Amino acid sequence: MLSALLPMAESGSTQWLSFDWNALISNLGPATIDGLTFGAIYALVALGYTLVYGVLNLINFAHSEVFIVGAYGVIFTLSALGFNGSPPNLGIGPIILNLLLAMIVGMIASCTTAVAVERLAYKPLRKRNAPRLVFLITAIGVSFVIQYAIFAFHSKNAEPAVTMFTPKPIFDLGGTIIDSQQLTIIIAAVVMMIAVDRFIAKSKTGRGIRAVAQDPATSTLMGVNSERIILATFAIGGLLAGAAALFYVMKVPSGVIYNGGFLLGLQAFAAAVLGGIGNIRGALVGGLVIGVISNYAPFLLGDSNWSQVVVFAVLVLVLVVRPQGLLGQTLGRSKA
């Protein structure tokens, strides 16, 4: 993981910061579309960070493992259904059904993990009024516990890759081909995010989530069961991470490994902060921006190891100018 953050140490080249604009421009279309696809995945995971932060003011570092557990759920289900490294010999209908099933298992796995982490790790701390820092350290600890539980009790290696379907070109956007995989991921993610946005705005649970985020004590006085709301928040974040896990396995078939959530979680967390942590639409915007930027970096700088550096450089620059993130915070209490 460190090597990804220290690209110069590996390449050993002397001209380590030269911009290859031509490479970027000639690949601009595909790099953008693929960036948006990854961005949609980041955005779904970012929502989990943002919702929990909005309600508890807690950065749930274990969310990256909530996500990777979902990815294991997805890949186990697909393997059990007969999927493997080569494209399945199935019609489109059965493929969709199988993928839906895998997604549901992934969502259940992630949701269960998120809810368990909340009940076993965070709730006892809340009962004792633990200081903020204790929650943070616990979150990091839980993240490592889950990673190394997978490492020790399951495997230290990546799961064998699974191919869900062969992407087919769908339409041509001025020379840039958009394929069925990219289209599926972007549309599904955006639809899910709109659904969550509406749910938070309109449903009773959504009103409770916003109320607890803005003023927990007063919410209780109004009859809101804040423990139930907190649990619902973790559950929603988990469901979205599980859905993201299906799309992640679709894009990165060999990426299901015990520490595979780390980097993706970092990107998603960056997306949440970039968009304005606690802000649902911010997570979408932040995810898409991070996805595109991290996809431009390899072309511009000639080495994929630069992606992380560029993502976090942009994050820092944006936060210097707009500390509240691109869209600011709306779920939580800082909105005046």
| Nearer Cβ to another protein (214/304) | 214
* DSSP 8-state class, residue 157: S
| Nearer Cβ to another protein (206/238) | 206
Numbers of helices and strands, H then E, in the chain: 15, 2
Using CB under 8 A, pick the residue from 98, 143, 226, 305 that binds another protein.
226
Q: Give strand pairing partners of 169.
A: 179
| Nearer Cβ to another protein (191/201) | 201
The yes or no reply on residue 280 touching another protein (CB under 8 A) is no
CA distance 249 to 73: 11
Q: Which x/- pattern, by CB under 8 A, does the window 200-219 give for another protein?
A: ----x--xx-xx--xx-xxx
| Nearer Cβ to another protein (207/251) | 207
Q: What is the torsion angle, in degrees rounded to the nearest 10, for the CA atoms of residue 119, residue 63, residue 10 and residue 252?
A: 130
Q: Which x/- pattern, by CB under 8 A, does the window 163-202 give for another protein?
A: ----------------------------------------
Q: For residue 272, give both structure tokens.
A: 């949440």
**CB of residue 161 to another protein, shortest distance in Å:** 45
Task: Tell me which residue of 38, 73, 61 sits closest to 237, measured CA to CA.
Answer: 61
**CB of residue 128 to another protein, shortest distance in Å:** 13
Q: Give strand pairing partners of 177.
A: 172
| Nearer Cβ to another protein (272/311) | 272
Using CB under 8 A, pick the residue from 137, 225, 317, 322 that binds another protein.
225
Where would I find the beta strands (DSSP E) of the chain? 169-173, 176-179
* Alpha-helical runs (H) found in 118-225: 123-127, 132-153, 180-202, 204-214, 216-221
| Nearer Cβ to another protein (58/209) | 209
Residue 265, amino acid: G
Q: For 319, list phi and psi in degrees, rounded to 5.
A: -70, -25
Q: Which x/- pattern, by CB under 8 A, does the window 38-77 give for another protein?
A: ----------------------------------------
Contacts to another protein by CB under 8 A = 204, 207-208, 210-211, 214-215, 217-226, 330-333, 335-336
